[in-house]
Structure 1
Amino acid sequence: MVTGAIGAPQQVRMQPGTAEVKQTPSELTGQFGQYLKQAIDGVHNQEQAVHEVNDRFLIGQADVSEVMITANQAHLTLQLATQVRNKVIESYQEIMRMQL
Structure 2
Amino acid sequence: MIQSMQLGPIAPSQAIAGAKPVKEATPAELTQSFGQYLQTALDSVSNQEKQVHALNDQFLAGKVDVTQVLIASEQAQLGLQLTSQVRNKVVEAYQEMMRMQL
Normalised by the size of structure 2, how large is the TM-score?
Answer: 0.79
Compare CA radii of gyration and give the structure with the larger one.
2
**Which residue of 1 is the match for residue 42 of structure 2?**
40
Q: Which structure's relative contact order is higher, taking Cα pairs within 8 Å and 6+ residues apart? A: 1
Between the aligned partners of 1:81 and 1:39, the Cα distance in structure 2 is 8
**Which residue of 2 is the match for residue 31 of structure 1?**
33
**Which residue of 2 is the match for residue 90 of structure 1?**
92
Q: Indicate the structure with greater helix content.
A: 2
Between the aligned partners of 1:34 and 1:24, the Cα distance in structure 2 is 15
**Aligned residues: percent identity?**
57
Normalised by the size of structure 1, how large is the TM-score?
Answer: 0.81
Structure 1's unaligned 5+ residue stretches are 1-16
What amino acid sits opposite 2:79 in the alignment?
A: T
When the two structures are aligned, how many residues end up with a matched partner? Answer: 85
Structure 2's unaligned 5+ residue stretches are 1-18
Between the aligned partners of 1:79 and 1:18, the Cα distance in structure 2 is 42
